[in-house]
Amino acid sequence: MTQVSDIMTAEVQVIQPQESLRRAASLMQELDIGALPVCDGERLLGMITDRDITVRGVAAGLHPDQACVSDVMTGDIQFCTEDQDAQEVMRLMGDKQVRRLPVIDLDKKLVGIVSLGDVALRQPGHIDQTVREISEPGSDRAPG
């Protein structure tokens, strides 16, 4: 059985909730990523995506230098634990139509992130169904 800890990315850049939207966007550009876990210290509070910044922030009239990450982040997010079965987590990603999941320990401290890219690199034969489920139309929200 492959566990999430076997395929996740352990070194994860995070952002604090009081940081500006511009800082979040700059980090995403610098790291060439589309999402950042939002943490208060090591504790996971939520996620912010480039889409959150664009749609909930800029399109809603918030100024990127004045609005905070906490103004647009998603707080109620899906996550997994490092000891979960990787196949189970891929099913969860498909069911919830998300492309990445933060990985936490029992104290809800962030220890990594698992993405479709991690699955594709480390378990290439198991990604087809997950991608189909994530891409399936009919969800009332954008995939994460």
Q: Does domain 4-135 have CATH number 3.40.50.10210?
A: no
- pLDDT band at 17, cuts 50/70/90? very high
- pLDDT band at 13, cuts 50/70/90? very high
The predicted model scores a pTM of 0.80
Distance CA 28, CA 23 (A): 9
Question: Is residue 101 predicted with pLDDT exceeding 70?
Answer: yes
pLDDT, residue 18, reads 98
pLDDT, residue 44, reads 92
pLDDT, residue 133, reads 55
pLDDT, residue 33, reads 92
Question: Is residue 24 predicted with pLDDT exceeding 90?
Answer: yes
Distance CA 123, CA 100 (A): 15
pLDDT, residue 107, reads 81
Retrieve residue 86's tokens.
Answer: 């990787």
